[in-house]
Amino acid sequence: MAVVVDTAHEDQIHDAKLDYYGNRLATCSSDRTIKIFELGPEPGQQTISANIAGHEGPVWQVAWAHPKFGTVLASCSYDRKVMVWRENQTRGGQWTKIYDYDGHTSSVNSLCFAPHEQGLRLGCASADGTLSVLTWNGQADNSWDERRVPSAHQIGCNAVSWAPPPPRAPPPPPPGSPPAGGTGGVAR
């Protein structure tokens, strides 16, 4: 069922993403802003909770991090920047920019957080033909490790995504443990 959300953006909307729980919607636009909406239990019940500004050009895409990292949102823009935002619950839900990456020489067109098993890691695709991988180093100063993949595509990168994590295998038995069969049809 389609639901209409009046975003009050002043220009074209380029992306809209629901958070992990489906309770919040983030939108971004050529008006250089990101808007966060709290979604109600009934279709059409939404309230704007944040209007985030910081980019100097159209914002192409947004991505939510897994909630195990807190309420974190990333954005990319024509201004060649990737910004990472965190909601500050102690300040009434105010959003704070915690990281600003400006290592690309052209528009950053797409971004995607890695599966949470890999940590807080963000892949970014740029029109300059490179990919960047940004990894939070786990420190309180919100510093990130930056790695670039040069010449990923000759005429620009338009999208990025991650493979799902491999399924977890059961741990191997301790060395020297022979297998044993028991009642109940179970072998160990």
| CA distance to 14, 73, 138, 164, per residue, from 96 (Å) | 22, 10, 17, 29
CATH fold of 13-149 reads: Methylamine Dehydrogenase; Chain H (2.130.10)
Domain boundaries, the chain: 13-149
pTM of the entire predicted model: 0.85
In tens digits, what is the pLDDT along the chain, a chain of 188 residues?
Answer: 667 777 888 899 999 999 999 999 999 999 999 999 998 877 778 889 999 999 999 999 999 999 999 999 999 999 999 999 999 877 677 999 999 999 999 999 999 999 999 999 999 999 999 999 999 998 888 889 999 988 888 889 999 999 988 887 776 666 665 655 555 555 55
> What sign results for the dihedral spanned by CA atoms 49, 52, 58, 59?
negative
DSSP 8-state assignment for residue 91: G
The one-letter amino acid at 48: I
The counts of H helices and E strands in the chain are 0, 12
